[in-house]
Amino acid sequence: MLFVISFVVSNTFILLSYTLRKCNLIASHNSRKMFHITFGLSQIIFWPLYPDDLTSRFLGTFNCLIYSFIFFVMGEGYCNGSLYEVLKVVLCRQNDHKEFLYGPLNYCVTISVIALIFWRTYPPTIIGISLLLCGDGMAEVIGKTIGKVKLKTPWGRIKTLEGSLAVFIFGGIGALIMCYIVFHKFFLFYTTFLALVGMVVEFYSIPEYDNVLIPLSSLCYQKYKNYILLIYQPKIFQKHCFVDVYCKAYFDISCLLDSKTQSFIFSNCKYSCQTMCCRFSN
């Protein structure tokens, strides 16, 4: 029942965006970003209400799964009709159906894959998707509304400082709110740091693929933060902090190896940690 409510809510916002755009009450970029923000939020806002089972992952991403197929079919030119006309008005900058294969399709596929694999129990999932929805969603709106300081990306595109800051501010606020809704915790420092990372990634991302790279940046940092700390660990850190990071990295690497090699690693882990700590303390 929840996925039905979510489906109705998300499509209501699509029709609202279409109506406002056809009446020239909002600009083209505003209708796209209205979809960008509301479509995803209309799903993840209901995630805490789902039970913890595999079926819930599919139902929780039902909208994005369906629209991934729709955008692919429309982008390839296999489908016309009322829905096609509505989505073209809402999402296409130049009324070209090929546009469905980039931003909109990447958006739906990315959210679907991340949610199906990690679901709501993994904080970087919520943070990464929230940065995509709220941060990237507001970047163009703010940039084209009040943006004055022009910045050129490595790909030759012009963005604004105000738009980039919007990724950090609105993405961070959105992530904090969603983390509290889902986990009843804010994860303030962690969310703030990942919002900063998301801002940088959004600016340097390949055109049309920021919808993929922004949420993945949160997941990649969480996965490899132990190795990052291992490389840049300052000497002033206490020994036990280094031992925790070093052993965790050792464990992650060993999971990729055979059982004989694992036994060797685990038997030498304590000695290795002690040796490395002594090396850092000197």
Instruction: Please state the φ and ψ torsions of residue 140, each to the nearest 5 degrees.
Output: -70, -35
Residue scoring higher pLDDT (95 or 216): 216
Shared domain check, 111 and 1 = yes
Residues 3 and 108 in one domain: yes
Q: Which pLDDT score, from 0 to 100, does residue 230 have?
A: 45
**What's the pLDDT at 155?**
87
Mean pLDDT of 261-277: 45
Q: Residue 97 has what pLDDT?
A: 87
Residue 226 has pLDDT above 80, yes or no: no
276: pLDDT confidence band, cut at 50, 70 and 90? very low
Q: Assess whether 63 and 75 both reside in one domain.
A: yes
Please list, residue by residue across 96-116, b when 16 or more beta carbons sit within 10 angstroms of its beta carbon and e when fewer do.
ebebbbebbbbbbbbbbbbbe
Give residue 77's pLDDT. 86
Give the mean model confidence (pLDDT) for residues 71-76.
92
Work out the average pLDDT over 229-235.
45
pLDDT computed for residue 47 by the predictor:
93
pLDDT of 179 above 60? yes
Confidence of residue 257 (pLDDT cuts 50, 70, 90): very low
Residue 160 β-bridge partners = 150
Q: Beta partners for 190?
A: none
Q: Are residues 165 and 130 in the same domain?
A: yes
Q: What's the pTM value of the predicted model, to 2 decimals?
A: 0.77
Q: What is the pLDDT of residue 88?
A: 92
The answer to whether residues 108 and 5 belong to one domain is yes
Give CB contacts under 8 A, 24+ apart, made by 97-102. 99/75, 100/71, 100/72, 100/74, 100/75, 101/71, 101/72, 101/75, 101/76, 102/208, 102/209
Domain residue limits at 48:
1-121
Residues 53, 44: contact at Cβ < 8 Å?
no
What's the total number of domains in the chain? Answer: 3
**Which pLDDT score is estimated for 96?**
85
Last residue of a domain, one of 70, 100, 121: 121
Last residue of a domain, one of 101, 121, 141: 121
Same domain, yes or no: 7 and 52: yes
pLDDT over 50 at 79, yes or no: yes
Q: Is the pLDDT of residue 42 over 90?
A: yes
Quick one: 65 and 162 in the same domain? no
Q: Are residues 129 and 30 in the same domain?
A: no
Considering the domain architecture, whether residues 63 and 113 belong to the same structural domain is answered as yes
Per-residue pLDDT of 12-22, as tens digits, reads 999 999 999 99
The two three-digit tokens of residue 240, written as one number: 């036990």
Q: Are residues 145 and 203 in the same domain?
A: yes
Reported as a single tens digit per residue, the pLDDT across 135-178 is 999 999 999 999 899 999 888 889 999 999 999 999 999 999 99
In percent, how much of the chain has pLDDT > 90? 56
Confidence band for 235, pLDDT divided at 50, 70 and 90: very low
- Same-domain pairing of 83 and 192: no
Q: Average per-residue pLDDT in the chain?
A: 81
End-of-domain residue from the set 83, 106, 121: 121
Predicted confidence band at 262 (pLDDT cuts at 50, 70, 90)?
Answer: very low
Write the pLDDT tens digit of every residue in 101-144.
999 999 999 999 999 998 888 888 999 999 999 999 999 999 99
Residues 6+ apart with CB under 8 A from 128: 114, 194, 198, 214, 215, 216, 217, 218, 219
Q: Let me know whether 163 and 198 are in one domain.
A: yes
**pLDDT confidence of residue 52:** 86
pLDDT surpassing 90 at residue 64: yes
